Structure 1
Amino acid sequence: MTLGVIGNLGAGSVAAQERSVRVEFSRGQSSTVIRGTVRGYDGASYRINVRGGQRLAVTMNSSNSSSYFNILGPSGGEALFNGSISGDFADIIVPTSGDYVVQVYLMRNAARRNEQARFTLRIEVTGGRPVAPLPPDFADGLSGGPDFFEVAGISRGDALNIRTRPSAQSPIVTRVVNGEILRNGGCRMTGQTRWCRVSRPDGSNAGWAAGRFLIEASN
């Protein structure tokens, strides 16, 4: 295990010395499970080589609610996934080939108290067929868009599921029907699906919904 400072730990944390580990799958396997511990300002980084167009999925379970993970691309810079904003599950199509870094860290408040987090990471890489880039106007809409959405396009008698995570396999928070208004918390691509973080106008029932059933609210 080598020691080094890698990238930016993300919102609410500070740069610190980290354990840096190269992740390699066993022959014939596409995933691995890693168990570890972070304490205070000391984080852990896991490097994995991924080809452009492959799917990188990461799930973390932790004993400390103030611990999160980020994903950085080969060039570093801004995180492709920020766990303190998006939660403990990431599912992305990587844009370019290279080493991607999964960083596990404690938020500043917990790090200052020298708290500890025992965590389990599941890292999976699948696929391999490059995907076409999103049109600029569509890609720009992922982080912006209207303040409110209207649910539309749901079949008669059916409803749109709002889920705890941006995945069709995640638990359902609530269900909404055509015409209901939802607050827009930002959208992102998970695999080939556009998912949007939404909630009711009063902030309740927050979760993720499939973006193809959301249009800009008229009012």
Structure 2
Amino acid sequence: MSPTLSDLRKSYEHGELDEQASRSDPREQFEAWLQEAIDVGLDEPTAMTLATVGEDGRPSTRVVLLKGCDARGLVWYTNYDSRKGRELAHQPCAALQFHWLALERVVRIEGRVEKTSAEESDAYFRSRPFDSRIGAWASPQSQVIGSRAVLVAQAAKFAALHLGDPPRPPHWGGYRLVPDRWEFWQGRRSRLHDRLRYRLQDGAWLRERLAP
């Protein structure tokens, strides 16, 4: 007989995270963990869940891909007219979450969100494959459409219109989350997981251990 959902469980025994071994700067800690996820060959190590809130207070999540990380924050690109774009225009704060299951790790980041500069968005857009650039023109993201044929027709239209080198659409570009809070979670045995939170206090990062 197949196990019920309540019977499914896993013992986390891959690693540990303590204050002495962690970095004092959370971005450095994140970059070290991200590099390890890349090095061990995890699928989509840059995939992150983005949580936003609408005008009605209703939260929503979706998966986007990290495309930049430096002292200014974490960057992804999308359609500004999409649901997430509309919600960020109303409430420019968001949360990100990375879940690297094989490493039994989660990273959560919170902060305010701003648009990247037009120059940054242009540069990234030019680096994308031609089909992806056409897709940014063809898809009215988050809007109701009659069928997939609508997308195919739109893609053909814009491919013919922008032969060779499509410019960046005005409704498409980057967002940057500027963190004021990070949390690093490492699975441990007996559900006594390690949780280290960093929060910005008077311009410096305060590192705290949280109960699991």
Fold conserved between structures, TM > 0.5: no
More strand by share: 1
Scaled by the length of structure 2, what TM-score is found? 0.29
Q: Which is greater in Rg?
A: 2
| Higher RCO by CA contacts (8 Å cutoff, separation 6 or greater) | 2
Scaled by the length of structure 1, what TM-score is found? 0.28
